Amino acid sequence: TPPKNWLEEQVSPEERVWLVLATLFAIVFLSAFMGLWHLTGRQTTHGEAYRVDPASFRQEVLAFAERYQVGELNGIPVVAPPPGDVYLMAQAFSWYPVLKLKKGETYRLRVASVDYPHGFSLYPHEWSIQLYPGYEWVYSFTPTKAGEYALICNDYCGLGHHLMVGRILVEE
Ligand code: CUA
């Protein structure tokens, strides 16, 4: 009698072997990704996102920079005492301000775009986050190496996109 449905069809022994091998391979492959990569990989950290009005975020950033800026010129690092809030504002085509932080201290990093979507990528921590105007992202941030960190926009945002590079200075 012919089989009633595909479940009852005969499977040849050779095919059964390959089915088992393929299943095992899928299990090993998936656990390598979901388990090993999760434990040993360098993922973007988990943050929180809140709705924010871009204009009021800009005001907060300017007030923050004014409070902690050393010197009067743009580009002078903002030295914020830990463990407080530190701000980064993305706008076409720059990051503001330049932060000066202490290695090993933990800060509350607040990042937002005030105009277009930008990509927030931080090296050497290897974070990569997409910023949309109207939201701020809040991260617990502990710089683990001294030196100059690079902030790069990883989302095409216009003619000056390639110029959108910022810095965080980390002191011992
Ligand atoms: Cu901002 Cu690309």
Atom of ligand 1 minimally distant from the CA of 158:
2
Atom of ligand 1 minimally distant from the CA of 92:
1
The DSSP 8-state label assigned to residue 27 in this structure reads H
C-alpha of residue 170 to centroid of ligand 1, in Å: 23
CA distance 51 to 170: 29
CA distance 137 to 49: 4
Q: Minimal CA–CA distance to 127: which of 101, 100, 109, 147? A: 109
Atom of ligand 1 minimally distant from the CA of 164:
1
73 has a pLDDT exceeding 70: no
C-alpha of residue 168 to centroid of ligand 1, in Å: 17
Q: Mean pLDDT, to the nearest integer, of 160-171? A: 93
CA distance 74 to 142: 25
Would you state the pLDDT for residue 69?
76
Would you state the pLDDT for residue 51?
95
C-alpha of residue 113 to centroid of ligand 1, in Å: 10
Secondary structure (DSSP) of 114-138: SSS-EEEEEETTTEEEEE-TTEEEE
Write out pLDDT tens, residues 9-19: 778 888 889 99
CA distance 34 to 62: 42
What is this model's ipTM?
Answer: 0.98
C-alpha of residue 149 to centroid of ligand 1, in Å: 17
Burial class (CB in 10 A: 0-12, 13-18, 19+), 3: exposed
72 has a pLDDT exceeding 60: no
CA nearest ligand 1 atom 1, residue: 118
Q: What is the pTM of this model?
A: 0.73
The alpha carbons of the chain give a radius of gyration, in whole angstroms, of 24
C-alpha of residue 159 to centroid of ligand 1, in Å: 9
- What residues contact residue 104 under an 8 Å CB cut-off, 6+ apart? 142, 143, 144
- Spatial strand order in the sheet of 127-131: 78-79, 99-102, 165-171, 147-152, 118-123, 127-131
Q: Which residues line ligand 1 (CB under 6 A)?
A: 93, 118, 153, 155-157, 161, 164
